[in-house]
Each structure stands twice: as structure tokens, then as C-alpha cells.
Structure 1
Amino acid sequence: MKNYMKLTFSALIVLIVLMSWTMPENNENWKQLFNGKNLKGWTVLNGTAKYKVENGEIIGTSEMGTPNTFLVTEKYYGDFILEYEMKMNEGLNSGVQIRSNSLPEYRNGRVHGYQVECDDSERAWSAGIYDEARRGWLYPLEYNKSAKNAFKKGQWNSYRVEAIGNSIRTWLNGIPVTNLVDDLTAQGFIGLQVHSIGKNTTLAGKEIRWRNIRIMTDNLEENRMEMPQEVTEVSYLKNSLTEREQKEGWKLLWDGKSTKGWRGVKLENFPEKGWHIEDGILVVESADGAESGNGGDIVTVDRYKNFVLEVDFNLTEGANSGIKYFVQGNLNKGEGSAIGCEFQILDDKKHPDAKKGVLGNRTLGSLYDLIPANGSFYDKNLRDKRFNGIGSWNRARIEVNGNNVVHYLNGIKVVEYERNTQEWQALVNYSKYQQWDNFGNFEEGHILLQDHGDEVWFRNIKIKPLD
């Protein structure tokens, strides 16, 4: 009986703490963004979906034949802490824009910027950060899978957003979700989204509700909540490391301004042609698609064994390139690229290589000519890959821990394999690499950026050695 009373009392304390977090408090730092009566201070942009006020709630209703519709604040905000409650009918997708803009010169005024997601789907990415009409997903919940259960379908959900400097952090129903570092946009409006539904008649007339929308713009540091260390920090700062990354052992593989630490794969120095640096971007120049037909591949001066590698890349139309690891400079003594395991970088729609190989194992994100990216037939635990598009930045991540290797594309795991096994050797024997002894089984090697004769941009090249 005593144990039961102790358990009940503990549960009651937890409930009180959660309720105190979600309920409005009388604090002079908070300002109401919504007066509970009308839409004064708000305006509608882009679409024609309707918004109304009932019982102290803003209600948005989905409508066929309209693009995304946004109800946005007339006032702009930079640094702030935002809290709101949100409830959404089943099957819809929505979110709240922060630091967002609508500019005539950008896609004819289309709303763009950071969006705090409200996701009713199976993937469960609510409170992740999406970059609306710009770069796509910045913080999908594959970075923080433990937070996927925070969202309550068909019920009121309490969100907290802290946007302070280059840090954007979110909580959902008291659970920490997103820890993002990004400095692309410093201020903008706050907006409530009714997502387009196309011609889907089953979603027409469904509702999204918001209430208790409040913001704090003063005394932010003393009101910040602690973000647990186990929540992954994801940074998009250009060619620089955050304080946390430095403490965790990350190092820049490229400093963003020189060729230090890199050389031509068959040279003692960096290539004199075929590559150049422009505004913090490392560019491999076009050579009409000829493999190593210009400056040739470049590799790190150092060799690496166990590591986590991240590289941001931007493809031109029809381009082909790759990131190779376990590269042994002396394997291929003839023409063409150096030999190593390759994270394929490719325009799947326009480059013919996407249709070659076996079951798509030469497409973007694949372990080139060996394992296709995100084939659910291969591993049902892998999600469909997400490509941000030609002309947009995408992030490759390669994790090597002994014989286990994983590929990620834009935060989503797309390939995982074990080296030095019979299964691995069978894959190699059925590939173009069968002629190379011990392919993929070397303990260490160089990291390589490929010159495949197409223009591709690289930046934010960083590594965390695990040894």
C-alpha cells in the first residue's frame, strides 16, 4: 500500500510540473500574440484557405485548389521564446513559421523560412525544423527518435520555441525535440500554416486550431530551458564549428579558404586547375563529364580509420561526383578515379548512371555499385531518402566504426553494411571492384572528393575521429 501511495504521489508531481509548463502564467515578460477575439495584428499570405476566431482559438480550414496559406504576424521578431498550443484533424500537415519572410524578389512573394512542424503522419516529425520553400528539412526527427512519441494525435499539443542568436530549439509537450544551429535568417514574422491539399476531397474542410499564443523578447537568457546533452546538435554554420562540436572532437577537414590538408590524389600538391575556392565554397569545375578529366580527384593528406564525416554538397543539373573513403592511392595506377568505397553524389533524374548497376545501387546516397540507398527491400528500417533538389545544399554523413559503416543523406539513414564478411565479399565479387584485392577491407585510408567532370560545390567538410 505504501509503495502504491508513493508511486501515485510521484505521478501527481510529474503531472503538476507538466501542467505548470503548459498553462499560461502571469509573467510580465510574456506578450500575447493573439488577443483571443479577432485577427488584429495578423494578415493572410499566399493562399485562400480561411481563418476564423472561435472560443479564444484561431481556426484554419483546409481547402482544395489553393497553395499553402499562412496567417502571419504584421510584426517581425528576431530573438524570442514562443509558446503556443496546437490541435489538428487527422491526415493534415501543418506548422508554425518563425523568422520567415515574404519578399517580392523571392519566388513572387512566397512565404519562406523556418517552420516548426506539426506532423500527423507515421514518420512523426512534429517539432522538427523544416525550411519552408527554401532548403527543406534541417532537423528531421531521425536526429532525435526518442521525441517521436511526444505528439498527441487529435489532441492539444503544447509547443515551445527558443530562437536566440543562431540557436533554434524546440520542445513538444515538455519533451526536448530540436537543437539546431543556423544563421541564414535572423528575423521575420511568425505564421500559422494551412497546408495545401491539392484535390484531396477527404481532407477538405478539416481544421487546425491554435490557442494561447504568446511570445517573450526580453530577458531571454534567464528564461531559457536546459537542452539535454543527449539531444543531437545539428549545425549549418559555414565552415566553422560550434563550441559543442569542438568539445565533442569535431575538426574541420577544410578551412573554407585554402587548400591546406588536401592534395591531388596522384600529386604531391593541390591541383593547379579544375578546382577553385569561391565565397567559402570548394568547387570542382566542369569538364564535359570526363572522369578526372580536369584537375582530378583530391584527397586528404591524412588517413582515417574510425570516424564520422559530414560534407555539404550542391549539385548542378546532370552532375556526377562522390565522396570516397578507405582510399588507397596506389590501387589505381591508370587513368580515371582513385579506388575506395563511395558515397554516390548524382542527379538521379538527369544522369544516365542512375539506371545502371543493380537495383539502383548507383543512385544518390548509395554505396556506389554495391548497395542502393533506401531500398526498403534491402532494409525495412531505412526511410526513403530525401533530396533537397538541384541547386540546393544537401548533407552527406558517413559513419565508420570498425567494420560497420552507415550512410546518411540529409539526416536520414539510407545505407548500412558490415565489411570483412562473406556477404560483403560476395557483393564486391559481383561489382566493378572485383579486380581490386582487399577492396573496402582496409583499416584506414584517405577521404576523397571526386572530379567526375561535372560542376559540384562542397562546404562544411568536417570530421570527428572515433579512435
Structure 2
Amino acid sequence: MIYIISTFFLSILMDYNDNNWEYLFNGKNLDGWEIKIRNHQLGDNHNNTFKVKDGSLKVSYENYENFDDKFGHIFYTKKKFKNYHLSLDYKFSGSHLNGAPGWSIKNSGIMLHCQHPSTMLIDQEFPVSAEAQLLGGLGDGDRSTANICTPGTDVDINGIKAEYHCINSSSETYNNDEWVNVEVIVYSDSIIHHLVEGDTVLTYANLRVGGGEIPENYLSRLDEILDEGYISLQSEGHPVEFREIKIKELK
């Protein structure tokens, strides 16, 4: 057992020392990415929600008057990923959009092991996935980031099925609109780690279809293991930017 644990953590350490990163976002355009916004067809970038500005991939609501439940995601669809180390920086900016739910203030996410966007229902809010929830502090009280939320999925934490849709990490609260680095280390469905500024803040395992938000076309797949999938980023009603979106595949 000691050898197995030591080998596991050594593999993570070796991963950190390896600089063989592949950039998913080139900082210039959205090549390789596909957009799906609720109640719009795949590829319709409604109101120019997702755009590139100053080298960042930005979620913008400057052309909106009201949110109108336009939950959106931008998917990297060139390939599926199974075992990987993902890293990106994010920061919130601007004001929360009128009509967006209160819980979406300074709220976004990295969706892991996603279904392909072409399989999402037209009115589906979130892809079946594990969400590394990205939050900003509100200036009063604790508000961790890199939490786990489970749209259409279940996970186990410490060997027990997670009781709630979202489970908080142990991260600090980031109250200022500053760049925050988040990493995710994924070993298929078996174990997933969330890191913030280099510190591991959450670990979970056994990612599978389940929970209370299963879309109709996934009902027959209840308890199916999700051992690979696509990566997407959210638009939920608050402007947010992403940069340095990079990945390296693990053996």
C-alpha cells in the first residue's frame, strides 16, 4: 500500500516537472472550440457571448439586456481526454447580468469528461460532466473555489457518494478580481484532484452518470462510468476571462 501511494504521488511530482504542455486556446481565436448556448443551435455564439480579447477567452454580456436563462458552454472538441493534467487562469470582471440567478454572481466552471455538445438537448442548461466550480469572493465570509458540482453525475468523496450537488473545496477565498490559477489532475474515472495556486484542495473518484439533473437522452445510462470526455468552460451570467488554457496527457 505504501508503495502504491508513493508511486501515485511520485507520478504527480513528475508531471509537475514536465513542461510538455499543449495549449488548447491559442490566445488569438476560437479555433478548436464549439459553442452551445441554451435554446440556441450548436455553433450559434448568441450576442457574441464568447470572444477573444487581449489574449484571453472572455465571457462577455455587453450585448445582452437580460440573461433569459442563456446558460452557455464553449467546448474544446478536437479530441476527448481521459488521463490528463489541465491548467488555466481565470478572473471575474464587470457586473453580474440582469436576470441571471443570484447564485451565479462570480460563478463559472470547468466542465470535465463532458458529453459532446452535439448530444445536448436544445434547452439543456449544463452538459453531463463533473464541474470544477470557479467562484470569486463577495467580500463577506468564505467562498471557496475549485469546488465540485455534478450536473447529471455522481462522485464519491472518501469512498462515500457525495450527498449534495455541490461540495466545497478547502481553498482560500479570492475576493479581488484577480487572476487565479486552477489545475485539475484526472485519472479517468478513478480519481480527480483540484488544485488552486499549486495546493490540492479537493479529491473525488468514481465519476458516473447520476444525480438529479440527468437529461432525458441520458436516463438509460444511469450509473454508467464516465472515463473520458470533452472539456468545456461556462457562461452563467457573470463576465469572466480565461487564459493559459493548457493540458498534458498522462499515462
Which TM-score band applies after superposition, normalised by the shorter structure?
0.5 to 0.7
What is the alpha-carbon root mean square deviation over aligned residues?
Answer: 3.5
Equivalent residue, structure 2, for 1:120: none
2:193–2:203 Cα contact (<8 Å) kept = yes
Q: Structure 2: how far apart are the matches of 1:252 and 1:259?
A: 12
Among candidates 278, 290, 296, match of residue 53 of structure 2: 278
CA displacement, residues 265-308 of structure 1 (integer Å, 9 cap, x when unaligned) = 365547261122111111101357837627x3110112211111
Q: Report which of the two structures shows the higher radius of gyration computed on alpha carbons.
A: 1
Decide whether aligned partners of structure 1 residues 434 and 464 sit closer, same or farther in structure 2, where only a CA change above 3 A counts: same
Work out which of the residue numbers 224, 228, 233 in structure 2 matches 1:444: 228
Matched, 1:307 2:84: yes
- Tell me the equivalent position of 2:200: 413
* Structure with greater proportional strand content: 2
Structure 2 counterpart of 1:245: 19
Q: Secondary structure at the match of 2:148?
A: coil
SS at match of 2:81: coil
| 3-state DSSP of counterpart to 1:297 | strand
Cα shift at 1:390: 2.6
Assess if the C-alpha contact under 8 Å between 1:340 and 1:439 holds in 2.
Answer: no
Aligned to 2:129: 340
* Unmatched 5+ stretches in structure 1: 1-144, 147-228, 234-243, 375-384
CA drift of 1:458 comes to: 0.4
Indicate the percent of aligned positions where both proteins have the same amino acid: 22
Does the 8 Å CA contact 1:321/1:344 hold for their aligned counterparts? yes
Q: Distance in 1 between matches of 2:122 and 2:194?
A: 28
What displacement does 1:443 show?
2.0
Identify which of 383, 386, 390 aligns with 2:172. Answer: 386
Aligned partner letter, 2:35: G
Aligned to 2:160: none
Verify: 1:371 aligned to 2:163, yes or no. Answer: no
Give the paired residue count. 203
Q: CA deviation at 1:432?
A: 4.5
| TM-score (norm: length of structure 2) | 0.67
Alignment of 1:4-403 (within 5 A): 232-233=16-17, 245-246=19-20, 250-265=21-36, 269=43, 271=45, 273-286=48-61, 287=64, 290=67, 293=70, 296-301=72-77, 302-316=79-93, 318-329=105-116, 330-349=119-138, 364-368=145-149, 369-374=165-170, 385-402=171-188, 403=190
Structure 2 stretches of 5 or more lacking a match? 1-8, 96-104, 150-164
Q: What TM-score do the two structures reach when normalised by structure 1? A: 0.38
- Partner residue of 1:454? 238
Distance in 2 between residues matched to 1:348 and 1:323, nearest whole Å: 18
